[in-house]
Structure 1
Amino acid sequence: MAQSFISLSALQVMFWGLIFFGGIYLGFGALNWLSTRRVLPALGIGRVLDPRPLQPGQLRREMAQSGVSVLVFGLGMVFPWGLLQLGWARLDADAGWRQIAIEVLVLAIWNDVHFWLNHRLLHTRWLRRFHGPHHRSVVTTPWATYSFHPVEAAMLGNVILLPMLLHDFSFWSLASVPLFSLFFNSIGHSNYDFFPGVPYSHWFAASRRHHLHHACHSGNYGFQFTFMDRLFDTRIAADAAEPQFLAFREKQQRRRQHGTPA
């Protein structure tokens, strides 16, 4: 597989990159949407986090912005391919499953560090305007996962380049990064608490933490894990958005009392 990837032309790499990122985005998004809107509520598993409605046209905007991000990620596959062509990086075609497992673990940790650093930069006054389109989704959906400005997509999409320069990874280890990254990112944007019984700091409470990031617009810059937010003291309190939800519920109650639509 490694040799097959290296032997592709630049145009072929970009074409298959678009197919790959478009396919996993639509697949994970549809699975997440179906499970959190239909299956899990019907089974009584989990709960919705933010009760407020979506903005008018939000899904259409998210899909349009996500399409641009798929272009950035897909076409950007030419860069890791280019490192291999230039001989600046190599793939280990003989890696066994133990090595691949260790590499995936290391890349998962690096992915969290890389995400926190770039996400924190995107909240500075110099780069905030590039993060604004993503934060238009105050109440998140799985389709907000790739809803980025192209600059943000380029920043987040370069996650494997530095590791490739430092170590000869297996093709499968590198290919796992967009898969687990999108999977966990989609869960984080699902606006659904899959495991209400676990503590706020638990790995499985990532959707709780990231929904608060969108509701409060700062803090909780980490990805799936919490170690970067703990290290830099950027965690948001678990009840930080409660005043917003309370105001929404009171407004709903007043409308019902006056017989106006919610």
Structure 2
Amino acid sequence: MGQAFQSLSLPAVMAWGLLFFGGIYLGLGGLNWLLTRHLLPALGIGRILDPRPVTPEQLRRELLQSGGSVLVFGLGMVFPWGLLQLGWARFAVDPSGWRIAAEILVLVVWNDIHFWINHRLLHTRWLRRFHGPHHRSVVSTPWSTYSFHPVEAAMLGNVILLPMVLHDFSFWALASVPVFSLVLNNIGHANYDFFTGVSYSHWFAASRRHHLHHAAHAGNYGFQFTFMDRLFRTRLPADAADPQIAAFRRKQQARRAPVG
């Protein structure tokens, strides 16, 4: 597959990139929506984290912005392809299954480091305006996952470029990055606690932590894991969103209270 990718023409690379990123976004987002809005609640598994409503306008905005991100990611496939054409990067030749698995683990960790660094930069006063469109989704949804300004999409989308020039990764390890990245990011934006029995610091509580980032903003810049937020002391407390959610529930109760 690596040789086939390298031999593609420039227009073909961009076309396949658009199909790939658009397909995984719509497929995984739709599956997540079906699970968290219908199947899991009906089975009594997990719970909604933030009960505040999501408007149709928010969903339309997220889909529109995500379409722009798909364009950035898909057309941006010319950059890894270009590294291969220039000879600045190469695919591993006949890698073993163990090597592919080890490379995927390395890239999972790198993905978290890369995400934290870029996400933290996007919360600085110089770049905050490019992150603002994503944070308009105070209550996140599976469709929030790619809902970025093009500058943010470009920053997050270059995750494989540095690894490619430092090591001859297998094609399958590199191709796994956008897939596991979207899966984990989609879970993080689901506004759904899939594993209610685990602690807040557990790997499986990533959706709780990212829900708090959207509700309270200043902290929880990590992705799936917590080591970067622990290292730089940017982890939010587990009750960071309680005041906002409590205020919403008080308003609901006030509306339902009988008049007179």
Q: Give TM class, smaller chain.
A: over 0.9
Alignment map for 1:190-201 (pairs within 5 Å): 190-201=190-201
Aligned to 1:182: 182
Whether the aligned pair in 2 keeps the contact of 1:93 and 1:171 (CA below 8 Å) is no
Q: Distance in 1 between matches of 2:26 and 2:129?
A: 27
Q: Distance in 2 between matches of 1:79 and 1:189?
A: 28
Q: Distance in 1 between matches of 2:184 and 2:159?
A: 15
Q: Distance in 2 between matches of 1:219 and 1:56?
A: 28
Ranges in structure 2 where 5+ consecutive residues have no aligned partner: none
- Structure 1 letter corresponding to 2:182: L
Q: Distance in 1 between matches of 2:242 and 2:171?
A: 45
Q: Distance in 2 between matches of 1:252 and 1:172?
A: 50
- Structure 1 letter corresponding to 2:84: L
Q: Distance in 1 between matches of 2:162 and 2:247?
A: 46
Whether the aligned pair in 2 keeps the contact of 1:68 and 1:150 (CA below 8 Å) is yes
Deviation of 1:55 after TM superposition, in Å, equals 3.6
Deviation of 1:258 after TM superposition, in Å, equals 4.1
Q: Distance in 1 between matches of 2:99 and 2:6?
A: 21
Deviation of 1:56 after TM superposition, in Å, equals 4.9
Q: Distance in 1 between matches of 2:258 and 2:75?
A: 54
Aligned to 1:30: 30
Aligned to 1:82: 82
Deviation of 1:93 after TM superposition, in Å, equals 2.7
Matched, 1:243 2:234: no
- Structure 1 letter corresponding to 2:175: A
Aligned to 2:126: 126
Whether the aligned pair in 2 keeps the contact of 1:142 and 1:187 (CA below 8 Å) is yes
- Structure 1 letter corresponding to 2:15: F
Pick which of 46-55 and 116-125 moved more.
46-55
Q: Which runs of 4+ in 1 moved over 2 A?
A: none
- Structure 1 letter corresponding to 2:108: A
Alignment map for 1:69-148 (pairs within 5 Å): 69-148=69-148
Alignment map for 1:137-216 (pairs within 5 Å): 137-216=137-216
Secondary structure of residue in 2 paired with 1:57: helix
- Structure 1 letter corresponding to 2:248: F
Q: Distance in 2 between matches of 1:226 and 1:93?
A: 34
Q: Distance in 2 between matches of 1:222 and 1:147?
A: 17
Deviation of 1:217 after TM superposition, in Å, equals 1.4
Whether the aligned pair in 2 keeps the contact of 1:189 and 1:211 (CA below 8 Å) is yes
